[in-house]
Chain A
């Protein structure tokens, strides 16, 4: 075995790289300014050393170079030819959380032109019930005698019900119509249709369940603002001065588009 000792190895003309027709076995680190050739047999590649380029979907990547916003999902775009970050599923979370410690709360800026259907879910562990008013596009709360409502309820262990209730020209709407309890949260689901549309009256329908001791009630109904204008949120308030707090009140607002 012989050893070649040289500072530089060049081709015969000293103008380029020499050819190694049978390959070259290097023990140690090979340093190069660039590399051309097949990487078919490279092993122990560290992805942390990849600092440029984008791995396409055809190679198991995303074809993307940045992360989407919080809460967004990775999905196939509408053209069906690439991935993108966006809303996923039929319903999108618009807002959620708990109560702030106040007797009335405005769940504001939840309605827009983005979605057609909206759902509000809430639970409130209080011996109280929930009334509602719509919040106009300018942020003011509609407190005029504009609400039309109709509902019915069933009851167990109560002298009242099943029966109906309804009101015209009231200055509030109704959601969970009977008292809940501190240890048994009343719960309600409210559906709104296109509330931000300025040419439509805002309408909702709801169902709610309330339990006081052994007395259980289930009520459902609908409310309508008999004036057409944009509504951007909903104002909730109780009937006995009880607060919506971080421990007794939870809410979730969802939106869905119509394709």
Chain B
């Protein structure tokens, strides 16, 4: 895996990452992957919960417009 540093003359100095740098890159990728998966899971659960709640409100007799007014959707 390569890394590059911009030089003062505008050129790039390209070097091979050290094993520590490559490990750091991969560790960051792993943590970011976990973080995004958690974020997406939370968002998906939120959408599922919202749909379930809307259905329950509808069962209670609320119209779609009334449910939309309550949920802001």
B5 touches A108 (CB 8 A): yes
Q: Which residue of A lies closest to B41 (CB)?
A: A160
Stretch at the interface among A30-38, A46-54, A238-246: A238-246
Give the residues in chain B near A161, CB-CB below 8 Å: 43
A104 touches B17 (CB 8 A): yes
Give the residues in chain B near A97, CB-CB below 8 Å: 10
Q: How far is the CB of A92 from chain B (nearest CB, A)?
A: 15
**A104 and B4 in contact, given A131-B32, A171-B28 (Cβ under 8 angstroms):** yes
Contact of B29 among A159, A160, A240 (CB under 8 A): A240
Give the residues in chain A near B44, CB-CB below 8 Å: 159-160
- The number of residues on chain B lying at the interface, defined by a beta carbon within 8 Å of a beta carbon of chain A, is 26
Q: How far is the CA of A244 from the CA of B14 in the complex (A)?
A: 12
Contact of A104 among B8, B25, B46 (CB under 8 A): B25
For residue A255, CB closer than 8 A to chain B, the reply is no
**A239 and B33 in contact, given A95-B10, A102-B14, A160-B39 (Cβ under 8 angstroms):** yes
Q: Which residue of B lies closest to A105 (CB)?
A: B4
For residue B3, CB closer than 8 A to chain A, the reply is yes
For residue A106, CB closer than 8 A to chain B, the reply is yes
A101 touches B28 (CB 8 A): no
**A106 and B25 in contact, given A160-B39, A160-B44, A163-B43 (Cβ under 8 angstroms):** no
**A241 and B33 in contact, given A104-B17, A105-B6, A131-B28 (Cβ under 8 angstroms):** no
Give the residues in chain A near B14, CB-CB below 8 Å: 100-102
Give the residues in chain A near B1, CB-CB below 8 Å: 103-104, 241
Residues on A lying within 8 angstroms of B by beta carbon are 95, 97, 99-110, 131, 143, 159-161, 163, 165, 167, 171-172, 233, 237, 239-241, 243-244
Closest 7 CB pairs of A and B: A100-B12, A102-B4, A102-B2, A160-B43, A100-B4, A106-B5, A104-B3
With A95-B6, A233-B6 already in contact, 15 other A-B pairs whose C-beta atoms are closer than 8 Å? A102-B12, A103-B2, A103-B3, A104-B2, A105-B6, A108-B5, A131-B32, A143-B24, A160-B39, A160-B43, A163-B43, A165-B39, A167-B35, A237-B28, A239-B28
